[in-house]
């Protein structure tokens, strides 16, 4: 029997102290991710060299990547949201990548975590829209030029469409991470199961092992892609909040 | 027409032949590459809007005691919002800087 979901169970870490405050490995890996990001940016940018070293090049590349993404989507007003999107992108990316290390825990595989992030985005885009446009923000739910008669139909549909944003944003990341990790463990279990039936089995186990190697590479791609999608959708929503369509 | 223009032209042609220059617009709106990614994305947009519609309908029903009418109404509205989401996903006009 393959226990594919055991890897997502939370367990307290750091002994008695961790157990008394329910400090799970999920929270521990979040702290690790934040620590690594802080280390990358502080340590990487410390030399301030004109010709960057490896760490500085990594820090600069990630900075410029997100900076281009935000300004490209939101426009020049997007610069004020750059720190937010950058933190979000790096946090999700580190969460996805750390989860690919054997025995590590993927905190982005929990809907509570991804929905928490998506809820922050949702509150931010709503507050930004209200602050910039005031009550005019509510015209977002009724496109100009539409017949007034259809208002009772269009407004609820637009509101539901707006409310579905954090749902699709969080479920996409969560589902991708869970699906990837379940596939990895299922094929890894095949390797062990087939390999345990003797000499023929060891030959047969090579096939799921090869699949797992390919899957692992694919998961690296998904880890980057999902962090990118999370960041770019946040930028698109920010664009809508700043410009109202 | 000097030598340099000819070179730029040939370089552009070669890049286009090899498919190195991604057509701008596609992939800019958060569309993942590949048919599977787009399919998953579109499906998720429908399901999440439908889920929001159902939850809103059930909550309003419980609050106003109108079981099951608002649930039925918001189920349809949620489905419409899902279709709207998918339409927005592929609508090239949105997201153009004004």
* pLDDT tens column, A232-245: 999 989 988 888 76
Q: Of A168, A229, A245, which has the smallest distance from its Cβ to B45's Cβ?
A: A168
User: Within a domain: residue B12?
Assistant: no
For residue A143, name the pLDDT band (cuts at 50, 70, 90).
confident
Looking at residue B92, what is its pLDDT? 59
Looking at residue B38, what is its pLDDT? 82
Cβ distance B95 to A161 less than 8 Å, yes or no, reads no
Residues 6 or more apart from A4 whose CB is under 8 A from it?
A: A182, A185, A186, A189
Minimum distance, in Å, between the CA of residue A28 and any CA atom of chain B? 30
A102 is written with which tokens? Answer: 């054997």
Question: Which residues of chain A make contact with B56, given a CB cutoff of 8 A?
Answer: 160, 163
User: Within a domain: residue B30?
Assistant: no
User: Within a domain: residue B76?
Assistant: yes
Q: Of B77, B82, B97, which has the smallest distance from its Cβ to A156's Cβ?
A: B77
Minimum distance, in Å, between the CA of residue B5 and any CA atom of chain A? 29
Instruction: Please tell me which residue, B35 or A35, carries the higher pLDDT value.
Output: A35
User: Within a domain: residue A1?
Assistant: no
- Tell me if B41 sits within 8 A of B31, measured CB to CB: yes
- Tell me if A157 sits within 8 A of B81, measured CB to CB: yes
Looking at residue B32, what is its pLDDT? 60
- Tell me if A227 sits within 8 A of A96, measured CB to CB: yes
Residues A74-82, mean pLDDT to the nearest whole number = 88
Number of domain units in chain A:
1
Cβ distance B51 to A236 less than 8 Å, yes or no, reads no
State chain A's mean pLDDT as an integer. Answer: 89
**Element (DSSP H or E) covering residue B76:** helix B69-90
Q: How many CB atoms lie within 10 A of CB A103?
A: 6
B49 close contact with A: CB closer than 8 A = yes
User: Within a domain: residue A112?
Assistant: yes
Closest CA to A163 of A190, A185, A179, A140: A140
User: Within a domain: residue A35?
Assistant: yes
For residue B67, name the pLDDT band (cuts at 50, 70, 90).
confident
ipTM of the complex: 0.76
User: Within a domain: residue B28?
Assistant: no
Cβ contacts below 8 Å, chain A against chain B, sum to: 63
Q: Could you tell me where the DSSP H helices lie in A4-149?
A: 15-20, 25-45, 54-74, 82-98, 111-133
Number of domain units in chain B:
1
The residue segments making up the domain with residue B58 are 39-92
Predicted TM-score (pTM) of the model is 0.83
* pLDDT tens column, B31-60: 666 777 788 888 898 999 999 999 999 999
Question: Which residues of chain A make contact with B77, given a CB cutoff of 8 A?
Answer: 153, 156-157, 160
For residue A40, name the pLDDT band (cuts at 50, 70, 90).
very high
């Amino acid at each position: 029997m393959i226990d594919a979901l055991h890897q997502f169970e939370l367990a307290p870490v750091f002994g008695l102290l961790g157990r008394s405050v329910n400090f799970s490995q999920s929270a521990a890996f979040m702290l690790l991710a934040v620590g690594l990001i802080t280390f990358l940016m502080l340590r990487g940018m410390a030399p301030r060299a004109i010709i960057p070293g490896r760490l500085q090049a990594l820090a600069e590349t990630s900075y410029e990547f997100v900076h281009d993404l935000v300004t490209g989507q939101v426009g020049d007003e997007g610069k004020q949201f750059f720190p937010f999107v950058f933190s979000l992108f790096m946090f999700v990316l580190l969460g996805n990548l750390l989860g690919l290390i054997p025995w590590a825990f993927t905190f982005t595989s929990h809907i509570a975590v991804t929905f928490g992030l998506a809820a922050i985005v949702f509150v931010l885009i709503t507050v930004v829209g209200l602050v910039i446009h005031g009550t005019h923000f509510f015209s977002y739910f009724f496109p100009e030029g539409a017949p007034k008669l259809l208002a009772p139909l269009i407004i609820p549909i637009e509101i539901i469409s707006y409310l579905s944003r954090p749902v699709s944003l969080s479920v996409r990341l969560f589902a991708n991470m869970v699906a990837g990790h379940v596939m990895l463990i299922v094929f890894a279990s095949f390797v062990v199961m087939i390999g345990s039936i003797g000499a023929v089995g060891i030959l047969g186990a090579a096939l799921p092992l090869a699949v797992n190697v390919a899957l692992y590479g694919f998961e690296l791609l998904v880890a980057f892609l999902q962090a990118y999608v999370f960041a770019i959708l946040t930028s698109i929503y920010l664009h809508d909040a700043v410009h109202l369509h | 027409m000097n030598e340099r223009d000819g070179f730029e032209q040939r370089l552009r042609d070669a890049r286009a032949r090899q498919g190195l220059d991604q057509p701008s617009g596609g992939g800019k709106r958060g569309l993942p590459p590949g048919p599977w990614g787009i399919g998953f994305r579109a499906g998720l947009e429908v399901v999440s809007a439908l889920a929001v519609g159902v939850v809103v309908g059930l909550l309003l029903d419980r609050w106003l005691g109108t079981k099951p009418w608002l649930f039925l109404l918001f189920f349809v509205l949620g489905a419409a919002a899902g279709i709207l989401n998918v339409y927005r996903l592929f609508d090239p006009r949105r997201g153009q800087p004004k």
